[in-house]
Structure 1
Amino acid sequence: MRNFHFAENNQVTLLHNGAEYFPELEAAIDKAHTEIHLETYIFEYDAIGQKITDALKRAAQRGVAVFLLLDGFGSQDFPREEIQRMLQAGMKVLIFRPEYIFSKPRRYRLRRMHRKLAIIDAQTAFIGGINIIDDEHNPENLTPRFDYAVIIRGPLLMQIHKAARHLWLIVAWAHFKKRWVHPAAIKPSGEPCGKQKAALLIRDNWRHRHDIEHAYLDAINQAHSEIIIANAYFLPGRKFSNALKNAARRGVHVELLLQGKIEYRLQYHATQALYENLLGAGIKIYEYNRSYLHAKVAVIDQHWATVGSSNIDPFSLLLAREANVVIEDHEFAATLRTSLKTAIAQQSIPVTPASKSIFSWRNYIVNWLSFHIVRMMQGILGYDWHDNTP
């Protein structure tokens, strides 16, 4: 059973990286009249974070109801004094599962709020993989992270608004902030804004545990010609891997654009342990090396596309709260496909069985040790993903 449904007549616009995303988000906040919901995993108090913070405070000071939900791990370094200033400006700020210095290593601490979602005046929504962080300035002088988000207008906002309010209600009650839960000041009109068919997919630990994974599997299993997946942290289970390999064996052209820069060494090498098996099935693999890859997107048969926060790994598919949008539209899919194909052709390195740096004996041992360490950690924590085998 699939717990999501498509809405017709939407306008969905693709945004490339923070350079396109943040000006649109800030402008939408500055135009807000009634209500803003913003959810993010990471909120850094850097140049970009300060601009978004200032925009949110300005909105609150002119009477807009501003609801900011931060993850307690991803945003644990956000200054507490700035949160106090936000509250003084009239904002409402909640922390999803706060981290404390002496927090015990409990399993529930891995259940993070990984969504990157904003909805403003129930008229405009943003969903994607981009955190509130300045990628223009980094110690390695790399170009900005390769990532995407979308702007959404139209009937799909009814689903997005409901999801944002529902999560806020849950966290507010958990923090004994009942007074911070009010009837919606504004609701989406449901009026058509375009011609695109789209669905909101969320992952939680109740009714929507596998919605994102199932949407991927349905699309992969029905693919006829082409699958392109770009994913920052790629460690699929057996069911997902088999779906990709079966697609390649029936003649579907399958391309994976994966992380080429080492950000988290254990995850990086665990992913490389899967390469030999995937290449043997005819799947093409590319490592993005211009900067850090942070995208979580896919295009299938130049018609089906998804953009969101969910990686294809145990953290996203088993533990975290995630939000993706699926769009069934040739024009949108073509735009995303062109961007991905450019990144593959101009900014990535193909992985082949002759890639000595990956398939050396030393790397082979490191990769498989990393893979089994990840699996062992899952088992110790009680999340032994039984089908997480290449």
Structure 2
Amino acid sequence: MKPRPSARWVGGNQFRLLENGEEYFPCVFEAIAGARREVFVETFILFDDKIGRGLHAALLQAAQGGAQVHVLVDGFGSPDLPEDFVASLVQAGVRFRVFDPGRRLFGQRLNLLRRMHRKIVVVDGELGFIGGINYSADHVADFGPEAKQDYAVEVRGPIVAHMHRFVQAAVLPRAELRQRLRAAPPVPPPAGEAGALFVTRDNRHHTTDIERHYRIALRAARERVVIANAYFFPGYRLVREMRRAARRGVQVALILQGQPDMPIVKTAAGLLYDHLQRAGVRIHEYCERPLHGKVALVDGEWATVGSSNLDPLSLSLNLEANVVIRDARFNATLHERLSRLMRESCKQVEPAPRTRWEGLRLLRGYCVYHLMRWFPAWAGWLPRHAPVIEIVEADGLHKPAA
């Protein structure tokens, strides 16, 4: 049974923006530790550092308190967890699973493509968290200059039921999942006034859903668009909608990495700068530390927060999850945070001056722009296999999950 995200707007929700690990980790760890019935955690990265051990302690407390605890980590993002780290969880009753762990060849990890990149937590079917923050110490400021700038949200209300069904379908054996769905657990009561969609991307049924919602919002934009995204090299259609919005008078601002964690990130994004700026898009580079956020807002109500970057890996290969939010209060909060980021911690990139090589520069931009039209098709040619979720047993051995 495949996971199904929400296909329609759901009202009655409440969202709280959580900026960086300092706001996110205390809320998540407290919620997990206090779980009464069950916990689901999905994450790309889990490290054995002070943050990973904080999550470890919260998971143990939940399991020892009688909650059924499920953890799914990605085999590429979390490759070197110590045996005792995992074994102590499994021995306490945690069902610990690894998405597509792969095998090393001459010490090298080759399983780079089609990763489980989601970051979701659901506690007792009533409280959810989703965003871009992994469980590693580089998401808190005391890590130093390489600490990441990032965002997540705490979610309450009926949309949590959609998140809950999705994470159950991702890991539970089919028989157990059917039994749970027949029981029809109660939908959380209204907690606020926000409308929401839970939107995912996979390689079978929802290949373009997240990108499509970005494009819909850009087409509807009338006043402002602010996109903060760490890894930025979107496809032709998304770039086209940004340009069209700017040309019809919408204030379109991008916040991208100025101090990237990987140099190629800035190089790739820079290939698009001229093409976007000539349409009126303003580009800001965040220069204090690496940007890891994946958030956006449009006009005064629409916003999205999640795990999806705007690059080929997220838009065409990885498994991702975002919430799309329709709420003026949340939009205003996110706008205030991003405006402060642009004002205090970014530099605006000025358009490159015209030179005698202008023709070559325009040709380069034209070629890059039109080559991008084909990257979703290229993604289909890349190595493909049926990913396996393996469950870790008490003796440390892995076996395919049922």
Q: What TM-score does the superposition give when structure 1 sets the normalisation length?
A: 0.86
Letter in 2 for 1:199: L
1:59 Cα deviation (Å)? 1.1
Q: 1:156 maps to which residue?
A: 159
Q: 2:272 maps to which residue?
A: 274
- Do residues 62 (structure 1) and 65 (structure 2) align? yes
Change (3 A) 1:225 1:231: same
Whole-Å separation in 1 of the counterparts to 2:255 and 2:13: 28
Whole-Å separation in 1 of the counterparts to 2:211 and 2:154: 23
Q: 2:169 maps to which residue?
A: 166
Q: Decide whether the 8 Å contact of 1:76 with 1:99 is kept in 2.
A: no
1:370 Cα deviation (Å)? 11
Q: 2:187 maps to which residue?
A: 189
Q: 1:40 maps to which residue?
A: 43
Whole-Å separation in 1 of the counterparts to 2:353 and 2:179: 57
Whole-Å separation in 1 of the counterparts to 2:379 and 2:202: 22
Whole-Å separation in 2 of the counterparts to 1:64 and 1:295: 31
Change (3 A) 1:254 1:289: same
Q: 2:292 maps to which residue?
A: 294
1:262 Cα deviation (Å)? 2.5
Q: Secondary structure at the match of 1:307?
A: strand
Q: Decide whether the 8 Å contact of 2:275 with 2:365 is kept in 1.
A: no
- Do residues 329 (structure 1) and 327 (structure 2) align? yes
Whole-Å separation in 2 of the counterparts to 1:108 and 1:54: 29
Q: 1:74 maps to which residue?
A: 77
1:61 Cα deviation (Å)? 1.5
Deviations 1:252-292 (A, max 9, x none): 11000001112122232111111111111110000001111
Letter in 1 for 2:309: N
Q: 1:388 maps to which residue?
A: none
RMSD: 3.5
1:102 Cα deviation (Å)? 2.2
Q: Decide whether the 8 Å contact of 1:269 with 1:367 is kept in 2.
A: no
Once the two structures are aligned, what percentage of the paired residues are identical? 38
Q: Decide whether the 8 Å contact of 2:20 with 2:140 is kept in 1.
A: no
* 5+ residue gaps, structure 1: 385-390
1:28 Cα deviation (Å)? 0.4
Q: Secondary structure at the match of 2:308?
A: coil
Q: 2:14 maps to which residue?
A: 11
Q: 2:201 maps to which residue?
A: 203
Q: Secondary structure at the match of 1:135?
A: helix
1:246 Cα deviation (Å)? 0.6
Letter in 2 for 1:73: F
Q: Secondary structure at the match of 1:122?
A: coil
Provide runs of 4+ in structure 1 moved above 6 Å: 103-108, 136-140, 178-182, 366-373
Q: 2:314 maps to which residue?
A: 316
Deviations 1:334-390 (A, max 9, x none): 00000000000100011012489xx99xx99x99999999x99x9598259xxxxxx
Change (3 A) 1:369 1:60: farther
* 5+ residue gaps, structure 2: 384-402
Q: Decide whether the 8 Å contact of 1:34 with 1:186 is kept in 2.
A: no
User: Quick check: 264-273 or 134-143, which moved more?
Assistant: 134-143
Match for 1:338 among 318, 327, 336? Answer: 336
Q: 1:239 maps to which residue?
A: 237
Q: Decide whether the 8 Å contact of 2:137 with 2:143 is kept in 1.
A: no
Q: Secondary structure at the match of 2:52?
A: helix
Q: 2:390 maps to which residue?
A: none
Q: Secondary structure at the match of 2:348?
A: strand
Letter in 1 for 2:187: S
1:103 Cα deviation (Å)? 8.7
Q: Decide whether the 8 Å contact of 2:168 with 2:177 is kept in 1.
A: no
Q: Decide whether the 8 Å contact of 2:6 with 2:198 is kept in 1.
A: no
1:141 Cα deviation (Å)? 2.3
Q: 2:246 maps to which residue?
A: 248
How many positions carry a matched residue from both structures?
Answer: 372
Change (3 A) 1:167 1:117: same
Letter in 2 for 1:66: V
Whole-Å separation in 2 of the counterparts to 1:18 and 1:316: 22
Whole-Å separation in 1 of the counterparts to 2:269 and 2:143: 23
Change (3 A) 1:139 1:336: closer
Q: How does 1:364-379 map to 2 (within 5 A)?
A: 379=378
Q: 1:382 maps to which residue?
A: 381
1:77 Cα deviation (Å)? 2.0
Q: Secondary structure at the match of 2:137?
A: coil
